[in-house]
Structure 1
Amino acid sequence: MQFLIFLLVYPFIWLLSILPFRVLHFISDIFYYLLYYVIGYRKKVVFNNIKLAFPEKSDKEIKRIAKKSHRHFIDVFVEIIKLFTISEKQLRKRYKIGNIDIFKNLEKQHRSSILMGAHYANWEWIFLLNKNINFNGYAVYKKIKNKYFDKKIIETRGRFNTTLVSTKDIFSVIAKNTKENKLSLYGFLGDQSPKVHKAYYWSHFFGVENLPVHTGSELLAKRNDFAVVFFKTKRVKRGYYEVNFEMITDNPRSFKDYDITDIYLRKVEEQVKEAPEFYFWTHKRFKHRGKNLLDKKLTKRA
């Protein structure tokens, strides 16, 4: 059944990917109107998330951000589809990479590193970075249930010198690469909500307290003495982006537990505040807020 679904769907995706951007963005506009005005896809989630993050904004401002966010949400998906066939030359034209001196310096030190980012603007095109540096690039991702689509995604990212590694396998991959002294860069997106039972640390995000947060990046950085770099993507105009990098630390073991995670969260907040319409508000980021306190209350009652 998986193969049949792949045979039926992938040719359609491939045909979409060879279309010029102006046509893809026209298709995106159609889907935006369908999803926002007709289906109302996650509108309540988006409105609630923005209201929690920006309680000072009026309903009119929240609605404006929500509408632009939905439009950008569809744009990113068609731009992800474009990755299947886009040439490196065309991608370089649309995705400008800034200060890679950070990585050149780390290369000289032979320092493997953690690259942290957020679901903001177009994070997917960051794969182009691996065509500009001499690290072995890895990106942590969640496997697609359909193994044929999963294989195709892995092949597509491989065109840009990136190896996708599942969350389940990343620890063993890092251990192997470290043992072999393999200069590597590991990409993580840690701004979404982990499952409650997998949360080791609860922090705040946009002033909302007691939220579970991902801490795997910090754990791996400290365990392996990896430098930690943040990538900040900016949408220049529709279909065009630029990315720059900020060193969080090249000495992770000097930080107290979870301080690096908190620094990362503050950087995500700063990025989103500059243009909140380009953040992925459709994710239920705040759904587990306060559940750690609830668990403590239940434990005391028991």
Structure 2
Amino acid sequence: MAVFTPVELSDITAWISQNFKIGEATKIRGIHGGIENSNFFLDTVKDGKKQEYVLTIFERLSAEQLPYYLELMRHLANKGVPVPKPIENNQGEILFSLKGKPAAIVSKLPGLSRMQPEAKHCAMVGEMLAKMHLAGKDFPKSQENLRSLSWWQETIPLVLPHLNSAQKDLLTHELATQEAFFTSSNYDMLPQGASHCDLFRDNVLFDSQGSTDTSKDQLGGFFDFYFAGTDKWLFDLAVTVNDWCLAENKQDLDPVRFDALMQAYQSVRPLSKEEQASWPLMVRAAALRFWVSRLWDFYLPRDAQMLTPHDPTHFESILLSRRSL
């Protein structure tokens, strides 16, 4: 949620009032963090009441790719999954143009992220992730995960020149392992569907109803679906586990958090025997995906306001840890 395309209140006041039924825009401010799109908190006033939204200008995704993400969010919201719901303009559209780029406005979820999650937070996330997977079973659109194997194969040659020999060996060996896994019969049998593919701690909110007591936390919702795709549900679960269930050393899995998340997920959707057998390779795949992505962002960055690339060595360490499972 960096800002590549600056937007001032004066840029959107007339646009909002002429095209939407969400009231008068009163404040806009860029959201710090993330690295893909330009995101802003947008405040409006309608009938004397303050309303809050999130405005996103898409920097990499095309107008042809975006309907999948926006319509998936609308589908899940209509199924009762707590996710941002796209706001329609006066013509009933949820994708529009702002400053010559694709843009969308979605509802703002309540709550705050918990960057030091307890087991109960992990359990809430696991349960809702399983419910989200099942709620998306009848979503009619399909779009591949754009950061899956083919992207790794394209991107790894670009980052290899920046790495030392040990990192090059690790990256090329893991890619070969995952290429074999992705073409295996066991992989083909894994259930799949609409997946978030980026459900990190900063993409989940917990609402304590104004209290500072985290024991009162309830799940506020999942957001930032712009890495979503049709993928193996086990991959989505592995991505989530690799961030939510870290031990204090920030690379190994903490058994208490891990058990809480996995038990809650499987209370809704038990894993098949093929999924259980594929788990060790899938958590490695999830670690590889984000190591490659962070290497790319770190060594081949784009200019942006408020952009701070993530440290790629974090997921290098996680991958090394998962290879020992």
Q: TM > 0.5 between the two?
A: no
TM-score, length of structure 2 as denominator length: 0.27
TM-score, length of structure 1 as denominator length: 0.28
Identify the structure with the greater helix proportion: 1
